[in-house]
């Protein structure tokens, strides 16, 4: 898909938005496995839940999401966001187990609960979450009220059309997993 704008009212099957290049896909319903697999650009907005392998590696490829923005209003299945290179993923609901494995880079914002084995093998990237358990292997750096975050969230809300967190939230930054050579960071949102 390139330079198109499509809105779907209803549910979609596997590979919704797979290897999309640009444009906008919006769906008011649920999708099955491999939604946004290998996306290279554009926006995918799912006002429902997705199956497994969201933004993952398409069959026969070695990278998952390369660039773009994906918003999921509901929940995300297991084994999602594998080998993400760049881009932004916003998940308003929960995310399953074995997600964000071998992540190369990119930004992920998760409001809900996070399953087991999250970010195994992560190299770089930024995770913004409310779940303290994700920070267990990370080094705390500081408590911060980063001015860029409010600007970042305002821009995201403009694209997805909805506010996810209240204004003026407190962030605690964690950096570099102690159990690997990861250069990733986690911003923990303190409620």
| Mean predicted lDDT score pLDDT of the chain | 91
What pTM, to 2 d.p., does this model score?
0.92
pLDDT band at 50 (very low <50, low <70, confident <90, very high): very high
* pLDDT on residue 100: 94
CA–CA separation, 124 vs 8, rounded Å? Answer: 34
CA–CA separation, 155 vs 188, rounded Å? Answer: 20
Percent of the chain at pLDDT exceeding 90:
69
* pLDDT on residue 145: 60
- Given a cut of 90, whether residue 144 has pLDDT beyond it is no
Average pLDDT over residues 22-33: 97
Residue 174 · residue 140 · CB < 8 Å: yes
CA–CA separation, 80 vs 84, rounded Å? Answer: 10
pLDDT band at 191 (very low <50, low <70, confident <90, very high): low
- Given a cut of 70, whether residue 67 has pLDDT beyond it is yes
More confident residue, 170 or 8: 8
CA distances from 189 to 9, 110, 134, 185 (A): 33, 10, 12, 13
Helix H, strand E, coil C: the string for the chain is CCCEEEEEECCECCCCCCCCCCEEEEEECCECCCCCCCCCCCEEEECCCCCCCCCCCCCCCCCCCCCCEEEECCCECCCCCCCCCCCEEEECCCECCCCCCCCCCCEEEECCCECCCCCCCCCCCEEEECCHHHHCCEEEEEEECCHHHHHHHHHHHHHHCCCCCCCCCEEEEEEEECCCCCCCEEEEEEC
Q: In sequence order, what are the beta bridge partners of 2?
A: none
pLDDT band at 25 (very low <50, low <70, confident <90, very high): very high
- Given a cut of 90, whether residue 6 has pLDDT beyond it is yes
Radius of gyration of the CA atoms of the chain, in A:
16
């Amino acid at each position: 898909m390139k330079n198109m704008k499509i809105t779907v009212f209803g549910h979609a099957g596997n590979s919704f938005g797979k290897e999309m290049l640009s444009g906008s896909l919006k769906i008011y319903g649920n999708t099955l496995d491999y939604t946004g697999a290998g996306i290279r650009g554009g926006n995918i907005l799912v006002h429902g839940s997705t199956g497994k392998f969201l933004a993952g590696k398409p069959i026969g490829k070695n990278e998952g999401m390369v660039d773009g923005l994906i918003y999921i209003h509901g929940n995300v299945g297991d084994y999602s966001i594998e080998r993400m290179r760049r881009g932004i993923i916003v998940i308003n609901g929960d995310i399953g187990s074995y997600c964000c494995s071998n992540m190369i880079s990119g930004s992920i914002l998760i409001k809900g609960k996070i399953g087991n084995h999250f970010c195994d093998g992560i190299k770089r990237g930024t995770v913004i979450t409310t779940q303290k358990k994700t920070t267990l292997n990370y080094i705390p750096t500081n408590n911060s009220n980063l001015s860029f975050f409010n600007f970042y969230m305002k821009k995201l809300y403009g694209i997805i059309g909805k506010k996810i967190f209240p204004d003026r939230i407190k962030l605690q930054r964690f950096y570099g997993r102690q159990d690997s050579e990861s250069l990733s960071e986690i911003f923990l949102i303190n409620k």
